[in-house]
Amino acid sequence: MNSPFPSRTAGPFGRRLKRERGARLPVMVITGFLGSGKTTLIKRFLGTAEGQGTAVVINEFGTTGVDDLLVRPSADETILLGNGCLCCITRSDLQQTLRRMLFEHERGELPDFRRVVIETSGLADPSPILLTFATDRALGDMFHVEALVTVVDAVTGSDTLAWSAEARKQAILADRLIITKTDIAGEGAISALTERLHVLNPNAELLEAVNGEIDPSRLSQPAPQHRNVFLAEAEHSDDIGSFVLTEERPLPWPVFARTMDTLMQLRGPDLLRVKGFLNVKDCNGPVLVQFVQHLAHPPVELEDWPDESRQSRLVFITRNVSERQVRELLAAIRNVA
């Protein structure tokens, strides 16, 4: 923050950005159980004008299904889809695949792409993918996870959520939840599922898709931050819960940084995802922060606040870390600062 080359047009976190992802390529991670309709949703999206120039990475790493055992180990294969899109089925490391795509793009060896969609295997816990973008310096510099989208099937979704902890985690961590197969599910099933999802993850945007049809712009836009909306603490499930921390007064950055450092040191593995924007003392625009377990993304200051409100707002998704604990820690550090 102490540059020998200060600028009147930059803030303490560097160049102020128009948007959170700055120059980085937007990434949409799509999770959801087998048969929930992920592939249909992606195929439909690629067929729209909005979906042009999308690179799809089908991420099968981490799964040990029967099919994988029958597949000979081979190099990742990138294939050209219609509509200027690419598809890469990766059975190796997601990091390596994305780095290779960047490298080939830089060399002009891959057709241009402007967005990456990662389709995970059904059982995948999205946390390692989020961690990948936080831990890998090259990926974090070049890619930005704009939305974690979880697809839930209206017919079997409620049952799956009842028996599968992985499915619940996918729902809890999502920025956007998409209910599919509403055309063949009964109304009762849809409303029960909607209610269940809202309880599990009140922060997520909830959308419905019929035959994979959804307004493509709703899919490709960054997940909304739900500013100024009162959100109750989510129901605890598998000891995982979420809450929203708000603060009206501007926060001195050292106070916030010390609070998060302490939390990460003491409870890092239990901070599944922390994301939001802060009103930082002496900054012009909101400062966007994101943490995944013990890792912090570099903070980003935006050029402007989107509206009149100057409230700080952070969504915490944690395992057995309560809002009260975080608040008390923040207050204690503020008092001694």
Partner 1 sequence: MSVAMSPLNKTAEPVSWNFKLLAQDDLGGFGGMGEGMSLQIAKDGRRVIWLAHESAPKNFTAVDVSDPRKPKVLVQTDLPKPYMRSNSLELSGDIMAVAYQTQKVGQQPAGLELFDVSIPEKPRSIAFFDCSGPHSRGVHQLWFCDGEYVHMASGAADFEPSHPLDDQFYRCIDVRNPSKPVEAGRWWMPGTRKGETPLPRHRLDKGYRAHNTNVYKQRKDRLYLCYIDGGMFIMDIADKSKPKPVSHWTNSPPYTGFMHTAVPLFDRGLLIVTDESTENNAEDWPKLVWIVDARDESNLVSIATCPLPPVDAYARRGGRFGAHNIHENPPVPTAWQSDQIVIGTFFNGGLRAYDISNPYQPKEVATFVPPPPKGTPAGAVQLNDVFVDERGIVYTVDRHTGGLYTLEMDF
Of 61, 58, 55, 60, nearest to 26 (Cα)? 55
Cα Rg for the chain, rounded, in angstroms? 20
Stretch that binds partner 1, among 36-44, 144-152, 207-215, 289-297 (CB under 8 A): 36-44
Tell me the closest approach of the beta carbon of residue 5 to partner 1, in angstroms: 4
Q: Is 188 in the site for partner 1 (CB under 8 A)?
A: no
Specify burial of residue 174 (Cβ count, 10 A radius: 0-12, 13-18, 19+).
Answer: buried
Residue 297 phi/psi, 5-degree rounding, is -75, 150
* CB-nearer residue toward partner 1: 15 or 249: 15
Tell me the closest approach of the beta carbon of residue 112 to partner 1, in angstroms: 5
Q: Is 80 in the site for partner 1 (CB under 8 A)?
A: yes
Binds partner 1 (CB under 8 A): choice among 82, 137, 307, 308: 82
CA dist list (Å): 307 to 17, 227, 285, 286, 310? 16, 10, 11, 11, 8
* CB-nearer residue toward partner 1: 5 or 163: 5
x/- mask, partner 1, residues 131-160, rule CB under 8 A, reads: ----------x-------------------
Is the separation of the CB atoms in 43 and 212 below 8 Å? yes
Binds partner 1 (CB under 8 A): choice among 35, 39, 235, 322: 39
Binding to partner 1 (CB under 8 A): which residues in 277-316? none
Determine if residue 172 is left, alpha or beta; phi over 0 gives left, psi from -120 to 50 gives alpha, anything else beta.
alpha
Cα angle vertex 242, ends 171, 174, to 5°? 25
Tell me the closest approach of the beta carbon of residue 141 to partner 1, in angstroms: 7
Question: Residues touching partner 1: how many (CB under 8 A)?
Answer: 35
Q: Identify the three-state secondary structure at position 236.
A: coil
Binds partner 1 (CB under 8 A): choice among 23, 138, 332, 337: 23
Instruction: Summarize as ranges the residues that interact with partner 1 (CB under 8 A).
Output: 3-10, 14-15, 18, 22-23, 25, 39, 42-43, 56, 58, 78-82, 87, 105-112, 114, 141
